[in-house]
Amino acid sequence: MDRYPITGRSLEWFFDIDGDLFERQYKRHLSGYRQWKDSTEGLHAEQWLVFPQNIGPHLSIDETSLSRGELYTIVTNKDAHGRKNAIVAIVRGTDAVTVIHALRQINSVLRNMVTEVTLDLSDSMNKICRIAFPRASRVIDRFHVQKLAIDAVQEISIKHRWEAINADTDARESAKLEGRKYGPERLKNGDTLKELLARGRYALFKSPEKWTVSQRQKADMLFHLYPDLREAYRLSQELRTIFNKRSAKDSARLNLARWYNRVADSGFKSFNTIAATFYEHSDEILNFFDNCSTNASAESINPKIKAFRAKLHGVNDTKFFIFRLCNIYA
């Protein structure tokens, strides 16, 4: 239990013990938690903890929920690959001033050794990295950028779906007033238009090579009926291709500029968010092409924390949960 995210309940099946009793005994007598919680480190553990010995040249920063929706900012060392020595800092909340104060407990010499930090599109995270790690290159995770393009495609799909729903409702009401039996028009695959838009949306999240036969059929029908949806999807896939090429930074800059111009020429309002993001964070987005770094190492901690929390059936003692997390991953 000191090194793995397991619970007393999970052990009772293997060792024929009272899991709840063992959990209590572990907390009170075996884990060292009672001594730790009254130590200098333990007294502020619910607010912040830092582990300078775990710092490295390549870091990730992300937020996660530990209990009852309470957010914590977690800084991790990429070289640990989500295992022991991964956590560099864990700080309650996402406020930049609070997190920076905690990170400044780490000697500036160590912080200046950091050469790269990957993060999401949060302005707060960007400020934290800029001040706490002044010599590090900030890299916005490519998947957050791509998600904005996918969201823009889905926005167009949702608009068409509501139009189909409203048209179906109007036709149904007209038939009722005229005393006719209403039968919606069905497409060649048996779906109505609103059904096709609802069921076909899953294909829009994927690249074409990952479509099933059914999804390919639905996508072809959607793109035939809605040329604007086809064009929006094409733009989202072009962005994905640019990131997948992993070309030199100057070449990527040119490719992204051309893509940006095609988005502007398309006139799609749903792409305004991603256009504004490119304008505000172009340097951080382009920094991806230096080392092709992503935030996967930081975000790999999140599912581990969620799985551990689920095994515990929720977190009743946040400080003890942080103690166990740090024993395992710090």
For residue 85, give its domain range.
Answer: 32-138+294-329
- With a pLDDT cut of 90, the percent of the chain lying above it is 53
Residue 20 inside a domain? The answer is no
Q: Token digits for 6? A: 């397991």
One domain, residues 149 and 281: yes
pLDDT for 1 equals 54
- Tell whether the model's pLDDT for residue 73 goes beyond 90: yes
* DSSP 8-state class, residue 315: -
What is the model's pTM?
Answer: 0.83
Selection from 217, 224, 207, 234 nearest residue 160 by Cα: 224
For residues 195 and 299, state if they share a domain: no
Q: What are the DSSP E strand ranges found in 234-297?
A: none
3-class SS shares of the chain: helix, strand, coil, % to 5: 65, 10, 25
Contact 118, 295 (CB under 8 A): yes
In a domain, 21, yes or no: no
Shared-domain flag, residues 228 and 270 = yes
* Residue 75 exposed, middle or buried by CB count within 10 Å (0-12, 13-18, 19+): buried
pLDDT at 100 exceeding the cut of 90: yes
Q: Is 169 exposed, middle or buried (0-12, 13-18, 19+ CB in 10 A)?
A: exposed
Do the beta carbons of residue 146 and residue 239 sit within 8 Å? yes
* Residue 19 belongs to a domain: no
Q: What is the mean pLDDT of residues 188-214?
A: 92
State the chain's mean pLDDT as an integer: 88
Domain total in the chain = 2
What pLDDT score was predicted for residue 4?
A: 57
User: Is the domain of 261 the same as that of 320?
Assistant: no
pLDDT at residue 252 greater than cutoff 80: yes
> What pLDDT, in 10s, does the model give residues 156-189?
999 999 999 999 999 888 988 888 888 888 888 8
Q: What pLDDT, on a 0 to 100 scale, did the predictor assign at position 175?
A: 84
Same domain? For 177 and 62 the reply is no
pLDDT in tens, 123-134: 999 999 999 999
- CA-based Rg of the chain, rounded to a whole angstrom? 25
Task: Tell me, yes or no, whether 89 lies in a domain.
Answer: yes
Q: What is the pLDDT of residues 28-52, one digit of tens each?
A: 877 888 898 888 888 899 999 999 9
**What stretches of the chain adopt beta strand conformation (E)?**
48-50, 58-67, 70-77, 87-92, 116-119, 137-140
